[in-house]
Amino acid sequence: MQKVKAKIFYLPNYDLSAWGPMKYAHSTDSGFDVRACMETDITLLPQERRIIPLGIKLAPEEGYGYQVRARSGNTIKLGLAIPNGVGTIDNEYRGEVGIILINLSDKPVLIERGMRVGQIVVEPVYQFEFEEVQSEEELGITSRPAGFGSTGVK
């Protein structure tokens, strides 16, 4: 398993004495859990969205970024999800990390201070090197001209 270095700074809203430093729960985990670090508990109403502060700032080594993802247990049990699927955070971002959550259930959901609300996964950064072409044919013909469900559901 490859390790990627990252500097971490704990903000005053992260209770280091109660929760301890960030760590992976198991040696083979791809993500580590992050906690809600608001000053007080909040209630998310059905279909309501909020940015939940996570109490940390991160600086991964060059060539890497990270994603904030939902925890599957919170999604299935509480209806909490990330409205855009995943939060991508660029290498040079140095502000407080947050997670955008939406309550997809039909009941209010209590987000308690210290609740594990997401996970962070490191990712290598790749960028396209664009080559402009003058016609669609120069993109190349494939056997798959359609998308958005063109292969069906069964």
- Mean pLDDT across the chain: 94
Is 17 part of any domain? yes
Tell me the sheet residues that pair with 65: 123
Rg, Å, the chain Cα set: 19
What is the domain count for the chain? 1
- What is residue 73's DSSP assignment? H
Q: What is the number of alpha carbons within 13 Å of residue 58 lying toward its C-beta?
A: 24
Is 49 part of any domain? yes
List the chain residues with pLDDT less than 70. 145
The full length of the chain comes to 154
Q: Which amino acid is at 59?
A: A
CB 72 within 8 A of CB 30: no
CA distance 56 to 10: 5
Q: What is the pLDDT of residues 44-67, one digit of tens each?
A: 999 999 999 999 999 999 999 999
**Entry pTM:** 0.88
Q: What is the pLDDT of residue 147?
A: 74
- The domain in which residue 54 lies consists of 6-127
